[in-house]
A and B are shown apart, each in its own frame.
Chain A
Amino acid sequence: MGIDGLIVLDKTGRPIIQSGFRSASTAYPLLHVDAFNHALDNARRPADVDPVLYIPSYNTIQSPSACCHIPCADMRFLCPISGNIDPLFAFAFLQTFTDILHEYFGTLSAATLKENFDVVYQLLEETLDSGGHPLTTSPNALRDIVLPPSLLTKLLSVAGANINTTINSGSGLGSAGGPFSSSIPWRKAGLKYSSNEIYFDMVEKLEAIVNKHGVTLSSSVWGKIQTNTRLTGTPDCLLTFTNPHVLADCAFHPCVRLQRWTRDKCLSFIPPDGQFILADYRFAPNTSTTLNPRFVPPTSSTSSPSAAISNLAKDNIAIPLSIKSIFDLEDLSASFEIILTSRTTRPIENLNIEMDLGQGAGGIKCIASRGSGGLTRGGIGGMDVGISGTSGASWSFDTKKKVLRWGIPNLPPSSSWSLQGSFSTSTSTPRPSHALQVRFEIQSHTYSALKVEQLKISGEQYKPYKGVRGRSVGNIEWRW
């Protein structure tokens, strides 16, 4: 019942880390690993594997179970669950656990986990009770129990374990510094910094779908306020915005006082130490719905279609680029031309366009260039990778996943780029996915133009250094 445990697989499908399972049978974790690997083998693309796999029981005593899994760097995290619990419980735990690992090791990879496997096991022991219930998941509290690997701890472990003991057991430090001494569950007690700093990073993500006529079907902007604090003592922060009405569908870190938010639309909180996400929000350009976003009654089905359409249009957010594409599908081959134009006044960075060319695609030839085409085809041979010299644009083709990637590291405002190419299929008519996945970043820009008015800190004497920064990313599906 509940979360049975956690298995980390490397990219060959072999377990690296395996938590203890309370199941009667030792085959239980193996069953899940096998089921997952089997599903992975059968899927056309690795991303096609259903994230919740049903695992039938292999005998009458055992009850059937399910395997929830997420990809993470070059690994897979499997979370077997039994009983009729909510898979979201497992996914929420997986997310929390990978966040914790991220916090501990910085970058996540199979190599780092192998290198620090003892720490990972200790973390598992502390975060997941063997009965299937998450225990301590607040990074601040965890750091007291399981020491993060650092040069210091490594030196200490070499120098001798005695020092280690005194630091670890906490009894030597008295009640002030030991684990669980803090009265605030998410904040460490007795923090001291010589320079006090607090940074807010507002990261907004545009998710949109554009149809083949260039009409935006749906678009929404999701924002996160990532916060990094290095503050002494227990500061009480009050963050106010000049335009809080653009925020809708908010979700907050447990430290935020909800009453203040519903009353004054400002964030009042005692922050945890270190990195955390203070709030998630959706950008609501349409102010009429944002005044009281939580109590929008469902519009009745009698409203006129024109109202619905205009409503849709009003909610749309301008997409900072436009794409024109021509595809010509023939019997055993296809040719295409994609023209992309930037439509913002800011440079777009790390633009990446992916296209699934479908089963059996191969023999791809492309020319990536700046400007609206004009180059003749035939310069580049049947290679799977190409970089055109001056523009920096490049393309590559993943022969295993059948995905064509077109990357442009930097697009100046209102520049225009093109990709021309052709490919052939071995067996039948080409069947590419009729959509381009466009991903990009825009630095120091937010779609919502959310502005911090003021950050007040009470309860402590010092004046911290404050910083606010914005960043935008986009993930657009452009159909053709």
Chain B
Amino acid sequence: MSGQYLNTLTENASRLGMRIQESFSEHTRDLTVGRGSVAYLDADDKSKLLNIRKQLDSNSDREKLDAMKRLVALISKGRNVSEYFAQVVKNVASQNLEIRKLVYIYLLRYAEQEPDLALLSINTFQKDLADSNPLIRAMALRVLSGIRVPMIGSIVVLAIKKCAADPSPYVRKAAALAIPKCYELDSSHLPALIQIITTLLRDRSPPSLGGVALAFAAVCPTRFDLLHLQYRRLCKILPDVDEWGQVELMNLLLRYARVMLPRRDEEELDKDLQLLLTSTESVCYSRNPAVVLAATRVFYYGAPTSQLPKIVHPLLRLLNTSPEVERVVVVYLLVITKSAPGLFAPFYSRFLVRSDDFPQLKKDKIKLLLNVLSVDNYQTVLREFIDYADDTNDEVVAEAIRALGRCARQVPDSVQHCLTALISMIKSPHDVVVSNAVLVLKYLVQTQLDVGSSSVARTSQSPLSIISHLARRIDDIKHAQARACILWLVGQYGSSNSRDGVAEWAPDVLRKTAKTFGDEAPLVKLQIVTLAAKLFIVSPTDRTLGLLSRYVFSLARYDMNYDVRDRARMVTSLLVGVAPNSLVNGDEQPEERSGVVLRREQIRLVLFEGKSGVVNDEPSHLDGTDDENVMIGTVSVITDKPMRMDDVLPDWLERGVESSLRDSEDDAPPLDVPMALSSGGKHVMKGVLTPPVVLTPSGGSSPRTGGAWRDLDSFYADAEEESEDEEEEDGDDEEDDEEEEEEEEEEESEAEEEESQSEGERNS
């Protein structure tokens, strides 16, 4: 009996123990999982993957969450997990927000592939749009507009419309951001979307305005007529908008200003333009580099030149934000300094190259230093260029040495300094330094000789003495291009100043190179042949020179390279008139020539003349005169490659539209100044009421974006509508600042009328 009891007792006890252990291990398993999600990323066994389906169908939120995390981890690894779509969609209405967020992430990736199944989730989203939590409303709209299923286009439009009237600015922002996506999906919804944009533009709270500006640019970038009434308010509210919105809004306002405001004028600045500039100026205090740059664009492309100094310090500040930002901003500075070099010249020391800069940044900084080069700072900048020739990057070295040449051209006083530096560089053990220095020297010498003796006299080192210096060092210079360059210089100028003979150092160069002819590069061989011909023609009577030349010609005649053979043949036949016998070997007696035999002077002409043209160094894209294609604030100027959707700023209109079009009740004395938390806006109330009495609205003064009228009827219809508009505006101003609500209503009706008008225009 007691044994039986004991038995059941132990049995129960062990069962209980097992149960406890089970649940315990289950919990501890969760704990280990909870310790880090890294387990999801690393887990790769097949059994777990098979389990996902079951987990998603289970009742436990924990299991579902686990499965969703696993799926997202797989997405992260680049796996295609669209096969679970059906199971995932079922969880879209989950009460757990975390599960739901993960489901959203999944849906946005795969909805396009499974449009039919995605439709199952639409109902839930529509229900969510009425949720009490703004976060859920916004999220539902975001996913709804993000699912790229064209079938639901009209549902999305309805959803956007609903959210555009939402009490929460966060949801209204989501609505604005959904507009471009909806338009991209199905452009036939354009009229409805434009209407929503018009509503949203009237939004009084700053957060949503950035999104609206973005939607405007994407959906109806030329419908500036919608902005007339909002322009001044948008300008004033700009400092209170969030940083990302500020960027979009400034781009929009700048384009509006260029289309609708009178051209920037030094003396009399349009007050609406001034309003924009004043607001923009306070935005320059932002810590966000993108905002500062957008503000710079407004000033650079919108402000008269007298106001440009305002962007100098904010831009200089950006240089210190991060190396990546510096890399980009320096290119923009290159563009700006091209048109206004004086603006940044006093701050050249901020552009000095550091050895840990990006190579591209170093090159751009060198160009920038050249742009701001002036009589005041050339000494320091020159010394910098000389230092940069020690850089470890070959391209930077080349750029620095080329810059020395440019420096000598831009500031004549610096020629002497440049020449000394370049000549000392020839002694460098590094190939790249020598070759670049020689190329630049050649260029400098040529320009010097071209200019004439006046400038030559000023420098103690005459171009000829430089050439002689180079000639003496021909043995040390190994780089093929540099050698060829020196040989050419020697040939071209080795004889110019002496009456009939050659300069004393020239024949020696020929002697040395004739000895090494076999080992030279083809490029150098060509120049040796040319040098021989030139020297020979200058003093044909010199026996040694004659023999040397003959030696060189015969070597070249049997060279492996056919260019060299060609050159030799050409030169020997050219010289045949001067020395028919001495140049050609005895066994190869010249057959009778059918061509013309040139006299010595003629040959001289052929060999020497027309070679002095100075070849400029390669032009960069920023040197071009077509500045219209080079815009600051674009990728294409950074990468120097055209991008699609090139964002072209509209050109200024000569006169702009009537400023009265922009009059709205907001211009009345401030009644409802929004609680300006950052109060960045100086809320300039300069826009005093101008009497908007335009009794006879002239169509010509307000350019239409909609195009020309097609027939008289629509023209008259339009004119009538417009005069109605004007009358209403008159009324507005008389009422002035009493009873805001009424005014608002009126404004709405007015705007609606404008809409219908513009719609009519498009339809016609």
Q: Is the CB of B177 within 8 A of A87?
A: no
Would A161 and B61 count as touching, CB distance under 8 A? yes
Contact with B along A119-134 (1 / 0, CB 8 A): 0011001000111011
Query: Quick check: A158 and B31 within 8 Å, CB to CB?
Result: yes
User: Is A4 in contact with chain B by the CB < 8 A criterion?
Assistant: no
The 8 A CB mask of A145-178 against B (1 = contact, 0 = none) is 1000000001101101110110011110000001
User: Which residues of B, 94-137, contact A by the 8 Å Cβ criterion?
Assistant: 95-99, 101-102, 104-105, 108-109, 131-136
CA distance A185 to B173 in the complex (A): 13
Residue pair B27, A158 in contact (C-beta under 8 Å): yes
Given A133-B214, A301-B345, A84:B643 Cβ within 8 A: yes
Beyond A169-B133, A270-B677, A479-B387, whether A64 also contacts B641 by CB under 8 A is: yes
Given contacts A118-B69, A479-B387, contact A133 B211 (CB under 8 A): yes
Q: What are the residues of chain B within 8 A of A50 when measuring CB–CB?
A: 327, 358-360
Of the stretches A191-199, A432-440, A445-453, the one at the interface is A432-440
Which residues on B sit within 8 Å (CB–CB) of A56?
A: 641
Q: Are A301 and B376 in contact (CB under 8 A)?
A: yes
Across the interface, B643 reaches (CB within 8 A) one of A63, A114, A253, namely A63
Contact of B105 among A15, A65, A121, A133 (CB under 8 A): A121
- Asked whether B248 lies within 8 Å of A296 as measured between CB atoms, the reply is no
Of the A-B pairs whose beta carbons lie under 8 Å apart in the complex, a sample of 14, sorted by A's number, is A15-B76, A52-B327, A66-B635, A155-B34, A180-B135, A185-B242, A220-B320, A250-B285, A251-B286, A252-B287, A254-B680, A277-B287, A308-B346, A431-B430
Binds B, one of A16-24, A239-247, A369-377, A415-423: A16-24
| The 6 residue pairs across chains A and B that have the minimum distance between CB atoms | A63-B644, A161-B61, A218-B349, A54-B639, A435-B355, A51-B324
Q: When chains A and B are docked, how far (Å) is the Cα of A114 from the Cα of B43?
A: 12
B35 with A154: CB separation less than 8 A: yes
Residues of B within 8 A of A137 (CB): 242-244
Q: A17-B76, A86-B635 are in contact. Are A179 and B328 (CB under 8 A)?
A: no
- Nearest A residue to B379 via CB reads A305
Contact between chains at A280 and B287 (CB < 8 Å): yes
Interface centre among B40, B73, B76, B142 (most CB of A within 10 A): B76
Choice from A53, A133, A435 contacting B354 with Cβ under 8 Å = A435
Alpha-carbon separation in the docked complex, A115 to B40 (Å): 9
Cβ of B207 < 8 Å from any Cβ of A?
yes
B270 interface residue, CB < 8 Å from A?
no
Residue of chain B at shortest CB distance from A56: B641
Q: Please give the distance in Å from A140's CB to the nearest CB on chain B.
A: 13
The main secondary structure of chain B at its interface with chain A is helix
Are A300 and B639 in contact, with the CB atoms below 8 A? no
Is B30 on the interface with A (CB-CB < 8 A)?
yes
Shortest Cβ distance from residue B569 to the other chain A in the assembled complex, whole angstroms: 39
Task: Find chain B residues with CB under 8 A from A88 CB.
Answer: 289-290, 293, 318, 325, 328-329, 633
A480 to B294, CA, bound (A): 40
A297, CB-defined interface residue at 8 Å: yes
- Majority secondary structure, A binding face: mixed
| Contact among B37, B316, B349, B375 for A115, CB-based, below 8 A | B37
A112 shortest CB reach to chain B, Å: 9
Query: Could you tell me which residues of chain A, from 233 to 282, have a CB within 8 Å of some CB in chain B?
Result: 248-261, 270, 277, 280, 282
Contact assessment for B132 and A282 in the assembled complex, using a CB-CB cutoff below 8 Å: no
Question: Within the complex, which residue of A64, A92, A252, A299 is in contact with B644, where a contact is CB–CB below 8 Å?
Answer: A64
Q: Tell me whether B731 is interfacial, beta carbon within 8 Å.
A: no
With both chains docked as a complex, state the minimum distance between the C-beta of A216 and any C-beta of chain B, in angstroms.
Answer: 10
- Complex-state Cα separation, A300 to B309, whole angstroms: 12
Cβ-defined partner of A64 (8 Å) among B134, B289, B387, B643: B643
The smallest C-beta distance from A295 to any residue of chain B, in angstroms, reads 7
| Cβ-based interface call for A441 (8 A) | no
Give the residue among A48, A207, A293 with the most B Cβ atoms within 10 A: A48
**A211 sits at the interface (CB 8 A):** yes
- Contact across chains for B218 and A130 when beta carbons are under 8 A apart: no
- Min CB distance B283 to A, Å, is 9
List residues 352-405 of chain B with CB under 8 A from any CB of chain A.
Answer: 352, 354-356, 358-360, 374-377, 379-380, 383-384, 387, 390-393
Contact with B along A1-22 (1 / 0, CB 8 A): 1000000000000011110101
State the CA gap A479–B386 with chains docked (Å): 12
Q: Is B636 an interface residue (CB 8 A)?
A: yes
Asked whether, in the complex, the Cβ of A282 is within 8 Å of the Cβ of B317, the reply is: yes
How far apart sit A157 and B99, CA to CA, in the bound complex (Å)? 12
- Distance A467 CA – B16 CA, assembled complex (angstroms): 58
Q: Which residues of A lie under 8 Å from residue B35 when comparing CB positions?
A: 154
* Chain B residues with CB below 8 A from A15, complex form: 76, 78
Known: A63-B643, A359-B392. 20 other contacts (CB 8 A): A50-B360, A52-B635, A64-B643, A84-B636, A86-B633, A86-B635, A111-B38, A114-B41, A160-B61, A218-B352, A220-B350, A251-B292, A254-B286, A255-B677, A257-B677, A257-B678, A260-B679, A296-B312, A301-B345, A356-B355
Please state if B30 and A251 are interface contacts (CB–CB under 8 Å): no
Q: Is the CB–CB distance between A161 and B96 below 8 Å?
A: yes
Q: Is B457 an interface residue (CB 8 A)?
A: no
Instruction: For B136, list chain A residues within 8 Å (CB).
Output: 169
Q: Does A287 contact B (CB under 8 A)?
A: no
Contact of A380 with B by CB under 8 A: no
Q: Across the interface, which residues of B come within 8 angstroms of A257, CB to CB?
A: 677-680
Residues on A with C-beta less than 8 A from B375 are 301, 305
B429 at the interface (CB under 8 A from A): yes
In the assembled complex, B300 has its CB within 8 A of some CB on chain A: no
Contact partners of A183 in chain B: CB under 8 A: 675
